[in-house]
Amino acid sequence: MKPDLFQAPDYYQIDDLLSDEHKMVRDAARSWVKREVSPIIEEYAQRAEFPKQIIKGLADIGAFGPYIPQEYGGAGLDQISYGLIMQEIERGDSGVRSTASVQSSLVMYPIFKYGTEAQRKKYLPKLASGEFMGCFGLTEPDHGSNPGGMTTNFKEEGEYYVLNGAKLWISNAPFADLAVVWAKDASGRIHGLIVERGMEGFTTPETHNKWSLRASATGELIFDNVKVPKENLLPGKSGLGAPLGCLDSARFGIAWGAIGAAMDCYDTALRYAKERIQFDKPIGGTQLQQKKLAEMITEITKAQLLAWRLGVLRDQGKATSAQISMAKRNNVDMAIKIAREARQILGGMGITGEYSIMRHMMNLESVITYEGTHDIHLLITGMDITGLSAFS
Ligand code: TGC
Ligand code: FAD
């Protein structure tokens, strides 16, 4: 792969909206990605393997629990810092950002928000340091967009809950030490349970043959009469709103992360267009290529402003779930379109692993589907503005 020459675009001086701390956190993540992710990621993606050696580095840059309080091992940062870290990691690879998103928003967040003090103390510091890795089991083979229909269930048996069912498409599952699993009790109410690797009847087979997020490990969670100790239930919130509340945090991170992938595609295409000579002049001097590049920077700038404003609202505790849906949907769509256009600017070179664009493009096919598909987020906006649900 080519050396990482990335220079971040900032067409509207959005840096001026950031504090010194934001810039420090962002720059640390950016340097780490250049040093530790860019040189190896193409090879790991080609091999369809998660580079486990980067776990410690992710923990060191604060990517595991950026906004979890320091007393539990988190970085104690604000939402914009969290967003900026996700942006920088996804600039390297969406699969690496996935690992960090799941650990922070889908494992640490529910334990912090809905867990007991004993659960927080037991799990959060080890998740923050990367000693424990986690995954989040919501999606099932027959219930993806409609998680409320889940059939995974548990019933009380003495000191335990006995868990049965299966989850599909679970990021980090093949190597996770623990899983936050959403399942129905005997009355059909949804609860979160912490299931640990090694519990009898719990297996995590890996999902192979992905053309997308190849550097992220995806798998199933199978529960065959797993005896989960009662103290592993998250008591703070039940019902579908509990897992969906975690998704708000992860979708916010994706809204920022997608900007990173788009920036990398734009920056690569811009450099290539200025250097590549056809018909005795740089292709960047042609109107058609300039149109592509000018539209890319316009869309990136709009996405940056959307994400920044959403971060401010999140920090003020005022962001709605529907606002988060809009940003996730818009920014991922923006990134995937930019990846496709950028690939064309590179011509044949665009399909090779010499450049990051095709990898971003394939990764974004997952990002536009997980955490709520492109269409589901549109319907969430539709429901918000009309007050009418298209789901039921
Ligand atoms: P609905 O009746 O609308 O809502 C049920 C209850 O949930 C509440 N709620 C929310 N609460 C917090 N945050 C949100 N975003 C919420 N959205 C809804 C709602 O108020 C209600 O509460 P209550 O108290 O009245 O019961 O539910 P529905 O069954 O009609 O479904 C709504 C729908 C379709 C929007 C929702 O189910 C949905 O978002 N579907 C998409 C599924 C999804 O996003 N799955 C993601 C799986 S995890 C994943 O993909 C990880 S990828 C990780 C990576 O690698 O980065
Ligand atoms: P379906 O729900 O079957 O949807 C198929 C199509 O139908 C989509 O286009 C959808 O938009 C459309 N559709 C569905 N309902 C409607 C409707 N009412 N109106 C109009 N159109 C509709 N899940 C987890 O729980 N944890 C994870 O860590 C995780 N990681 C993932 C990693 C990867 C790489 C992938 C690909 C997925 C991951 N997921 C995870 C699952 C992901 O959240 C689901 O794939 C996603 O929610 C969509 O569900 P589905 O694939 O079952 O599609």
pLDDT of residue 267: 98
CA of 47 to the centre of ligand 1 (A): 34
In angstroms, the CA 275 to CA 298 distance is 22
Residue pointed to by tokens 């942006």: 87
In angstroms, the CA 54 to CA 232 distance is 29
Judge whether 196 counts as a catalytic residue: no
Strands 190-196 and 218-229: unpaired
Minimum-distance ligand 1 atom for the alpha carbon of 253: 56
Q: Is the pLDDT of residue 1 over 80?
A: no
Phi, psi for 130 (deg, rounded to 5): 85, 0
Tell me the per-residue pLDDT of 52-103, one tens digit each, with 9 for 90 and over.
Answer: 999 999 999 999 999 999 999 999 999 999 999 999 999 999 999 999 999 9
322 residue type, one letter? A
Minimum-distance ligand 1 atom for the alpha carbon of 321: 15
pLDDT of residue 2: 78
Residues 6-10 have a mean pLDDT of 97
Pocket of ligand 1 (CB under 6 A): 98, 101-102, 136, 138-139, 145, 147-148, 171, 239-241, 244-245, 247-248, 250, 321, 370-372, 376, 380, 391-392
pLDDT of residue 392: 86
pLDDT of residue 306: 98
pLDDT band at 172 (very low <50, low <70, confident <90, very high): very high
- Cβ 197 vs Cβ 177: under 8 Å: yes
Q: Is the pLDDT of residue 385 over 80?
A: yes
Check 90, 140, 220, 371 and give the catalytic one.
371
Residues 24-32 have a mean pLDDT of 98
Q: Which two tokens stand for residue 92?
A: 């390297």
pLDDT of residue 368: 98
Query: What are the structural domains, with CATH classification, of the chain?
Result: 14-133 (1.10.540.10), 135-234 (2.40.110.10), 241-386 (1.20.140.10)
Q: Exposed/middle/buried for 28, CB within 10 Å: 0-12, 13-18, 19+?
A: middle
Q: Is the pLDDT of residue 260 over 90?
A: yes
- Going by alpha carbons, the residue nearest to atom 24 of ligand 1 is 241
Tell me the per-residue pLDDT of 349-384, one tens digit each, with 9 for 90 and over.
Answer: 999 999 999 999 999 999 999 999 999 999 999 999
CA of 27 to the centre of ligand 2 (A): 33
pLDDT of residue 183: 99
Identify which has the larger pLDDT, 392 or 288.
Answer: 288
pLDDT band at 249 (very low <50, low <70, confident <90, very high): very high
Q: What is the mean pLDDT of the chain?
A: 98
pLDDT of residue 277: 98
For ligand 1, mutation pick of 184, 240, 363 (most atoms within 8 Å of CB): 240
Q: Is 204 touching ligand 2 by the criterion CB < 6 Å?
A: no
Minimum-distance ligand 2 atom for the alpha carbon of 147: 47
Q: Is 144 touching ligand 2 by the criterion CB < 6 Å?
A: yes
The stretches of the chain forming alpha helices (DSSP H) are: 20-32, 38-47, 55-60, 79-92, 94-101, 109-114, 117-129, 241-275, 287-315, 321-345, 357-367, 374-386
pLDDT of residue 177: 98
Of all residues in the chain, the percent with pLDDT exceeding 90 is 99
Tell me the per-residue pLDDT of 322-354, one tens digit each, with 9 for 90 and over.
Answer: 999 999 999 999 999 999 999 999 999 999 999
The residues near 158 (Cβ < 8 Å, ≥ 6 apart) are none
**Nearest ligand to the CA atom of 144:** 2
Ramachandran bin of 71, using left for φ above 0, alpha for ψ from -120 to 50, beta for the remaining angles: alpha
Residues 227-250 have a mean pLDDT of 98
Identify which has the larger pLDDT, 3 or 249.
Answer: 249
Q: Is 373 touching ligand 2 by the criterion CB < 6 Å?
A: yes
- Cβ 325 vs Cβ 377: under 8 Å: yes
Minimum-distance ligand 2 atom for the alpha carbon of 172: 28
pLDDT band at 30 (very low <50, low <70, confident <90, very high): very high
Identify the sign of the CA torsion 240, 246, 249, 253: negative
Q: Is 367 touching ligand 2 by the criterion CB < 6 Å?
A: no
